Amino acid sequence: MNKVDHQPPHTHLNIIEELVYAEIKKQLKHYPSSLAQYLNQIEVATFALNRLPPLYASSEKGKNQQRLLGQRQYQEQIKIAVRQGIAAVQRDPIRSSTPLISEIESNSQKAKVALNELQKLLEERELTNYEKLTWENLVGVMRRALNRVIWTAYQPIESPITLMDSEEEQLSLTTLPFKDCQIFSDKLQ
């Protein structure tokens, strides 16, 4: 057996879920579209999946084998479980429920919020040319913004403001052209 030092992120799938969703789609074709659009497919799938055995796979080969097994051995059970799930959800189609949000979706939403906040900050500080910030251009936009800050930091304004720290010492304050952004110099005059 070969030892793998650095494994990529690994995942597993329950193939029965794929088969259940395919069956839901197939059965909903026989319903009027006005009814089908109000049926919560996630609730139908949850109902059906709770009545079926799991068929997990962690490789492409395993995925194909489990799919074949599910189609051969469990197809009739899948049909029945989906039909029962549709009937159960159909009894109360406007039932109120708070859906679960996956950790991946939750993290994705948080990342989008952070990206939007970063976009606003860069625009407020006039550190971007108002190009839309995306995950693809984030590094380039940030590199240009940081270069702009560094370049400007070394370009003092014509008449720096001098503040008296004490009678013997003075602190020199150089103001940058960015809002709320100041650099203090420890130079004594």
Of the candidates 142, 139, 188, the one whose C-alpha atom is nearest the C-alpha of residue 168 is 188
Q: Classify the phi-psi angles of 80: left when phi > 0, otherwise alpha if psi is within -120 to 50, otherwise beta.
A: alpha
Per-residue pLDDT of the chain (189 residues; tens, 9 = 90+): 555 555 556 789 999 999 999 999 999 999 888 888 888 899 999 999 999 999 999 999 999 999 999 999 999 999 999 999 999 988 765 566 666 777 778 888 888 899 889 888 888 888 887 678 888 888 888 888 888 888 877 766 555 544 444 444 444 444 444 444 444 444 333
Question: How is 22-46 classified by DSSP, letter by letter?
Answer: HHHHHHHTTS-HHHHTTS-HHHHHH
Beta bridge partners of 125: none
Of the candidates 10, 88, 12, 91, the one whose C-alpha atom is nearest the C-alpha of residue 50 is 88
Q: At 133, list the tokens.
A: 């910030």
Of the candidates 133, 113, 111, the one whose C-alpha atom is nearest the C-alpha of residue 123 is 133
Question: How is 86-136 classified by DSSP, letter by letter?
Answer: HHHHHTSTT--------HHHHHHHHHHHHHHHHHHHHHHTT-S-SPPP-TT
CA atoms within 13 A on the CB side of 145: 22
Q: Quick one: DSSP state of residue 170?
A: E
Beta bridge partners of 13: 57
Model pTM above 0.85:
no
Residue type, 101: I
Residue type, 170: Q
